A = this chain, B = another copy of it.
Amino acid sequence: MNKEKIGMDLIKNRRSVRSFKEKSLSLKTVEKILEAGRWAPSGLNNQPWRFMVLEKSDKDRLVPYTHYGHVVKAADKVVLVFLDKKKSYHREKDLMALGACIQNMLLAASAVKLGACWLGEILNQKKAIQKALNCAHTLELWGCIALGVPAKRPGGGRRFPLKKLIVKI
């Protein structure tokens, strides 16, 4: 029952955190987050995700590429998530696997009381970012997670009611 209650709480009460305290995360803490991503499911277990952890001046190089530069700036670390095109077997399924991987990391961040925000708009500049970071041509940027110690408790979150989401046969 404890596992059920805590697990469901974790899933339902995770929220995007966009403001952070000026506190450093240890490498060990960041590894916990990446570990969670590593255990996501993927088609044929191809594990097409690759991670880059940026901090300090490396992290701040992302700021000009997004309207949410203030979130990147305030975060202690940013985890970039790439699709390894060498490992890709089906583009859409691989993207869903990346989504599962990112969600595992967001949940893990919440479990260890960190704040995290999945930034999507920055992907509009993914080619420029890949070039600026001198990424291998086999890597395609598909995820960006800002991480840090939350400065304040995020709001309640809004979702459609379940009945709006259910399609009857």
Contact = CB atoms under 8 A, between A and B. Distances in A.
Nearest to A116: B41
Interface of A: 2-4, 6-12, 14, 16, 31-32, 34-41, 43-45, 47, 49-54, 58, 82, 90, 92-93, 95-104, 106-108, 110-113, 118, 120, 123, 133-136, 139, 142-143, 157-160, 162, 165-169
A40 B99 CA distance: 10
A34 B165 contact: yes
B167 A135 contact: yes
B108 A8 contact: yes
Decide if the interface of chain A is mainly helix, strand, loop or mixed: helix
Contacts of A168: 52
A92 B93 contact: no
A12 B54 CA distance: 24
Contact of A167 (B38, B82, B104): B82
B34 A166 contact: yes
A103 B44 CA distance: 16
Contact of A39 (B49, B100, B157): B157
A133 B96 CA distance: 23
A153 to B, nearest CB: 15
24 contacts: A2-B6, A7-B107, A7-B108, A11-B36, A11-B39, A11-B108, A12-B35, A12-B36, A14-B41, A41-B106, A44-B120, A51-B167, A52-B169, A54-B169, A58-B169, A92-B95, A92-B142, A93-B123, A96-B96, A96-B98, A97-B99, A99-B100, A99-B103, A134-B169
